[in-house]
Amino acid sequence: MLAAAGGGGFYWVEESFVFKNQGGWSFIGSFPTTDITGGGHSFIAGHAIWASISGLGIGLALLLRGSPLRMLLTGVSGWLWSVLDHGANNYIVAFHDSLSSVLQGVTATGYLSLYIFLLGVGFAVLLDLYCIYLGLPKLNEARLPKFSSSWAEAKRAWRYFLLRRQFAYAVARYKREDGLDRARAAVIAGGLDASLHNWHIRSSQPAAAK
């Protein structure tokens, strides 16, 4: 999300300058694209999507963890692809040679970035849902609260959902760490578990006692 916001900001600064001076504006679905000189990629992902792909790589590396080498390779993979696709588009605009043809094939004339983006977002969402709902231990204090019947109860339930999410991610981190990092994750998860337990105790108290 942070990468998408940063890329989106850069998109409006740089590419709106291109629009103003050289023209070209098209939409494919809800993704803004550019057409700098009428050549290059058939689909230009743009900085918003390129930055999002880079952020996906970093986010997956931090969530899945693993060895330092695997985290490094996962983290830079999205950035490397975005650099390749951006450079390929710029090269194809300026040159029409054998390398240009190869780059068009490798990047599927720009559409591969769109597919990577869509698949990456879908995978990230599914991974989040798994951590929050399926990967969470079947603990009594982590059970979902009952339906809220008032605004005050709804606000309290929302705070509980946020706390439960933090606990779920701490558990996922614990499962993937080892050594000192695993111990730190265990301490964080233990503290959050205690907070969830206290939330249920307070929720079960009569209103007058609260």
pLDDT score recorded for residue 208: 44
Per-range mean pLDDT, top range of 7-21, 32-46, 159-173: 159-173
Residue 36 has pLDDT above 80, yes or no: no
Among residues of the chain, what percentage have pLDDT more than 90? Answer: 24
Look at residues 205, 63, 193 and name the one whose alpha carbon lies nearest to residue 138: 193
In whole angstroms, what is the distance from residue 42 CA to residue 128 CA?
Answer: 33
Give pLDDT, residue 37. 47
- Is residue 106 predicted with pLDDT exceeding 60? yes
pLDDT digits (tens, 9 = 90+) for 53-81: 999 999 989 888 878 899 999 999 999 99
What is the structure's pLDDT at 28? Answer: 44
> Over the chain, what is the mean pLDDT?
80
Judge whether residue 26 has pLDDT over 70. Answer: no
Query: In whole angstroms, how far apart are CA 27 and each of 14, 24, 32, 34, 180?
Result: 17, 10, 5, 9, 49
**pTM over cut 0.85:** no
- Dihedrals φ, ψ of 33, to 5°? -130, 165
Domain spans, the chain: 2-134, 140-204
Taking 3-state DSSP, the helix, strand and coil percentages for the chain, each rounded to the nearest 5, stand at 75, 5, 20
Residue 195, class by beta-carbon neighbours within 10 Å (0-12 exposed, 13-18 middle, 19+ buried)? middle
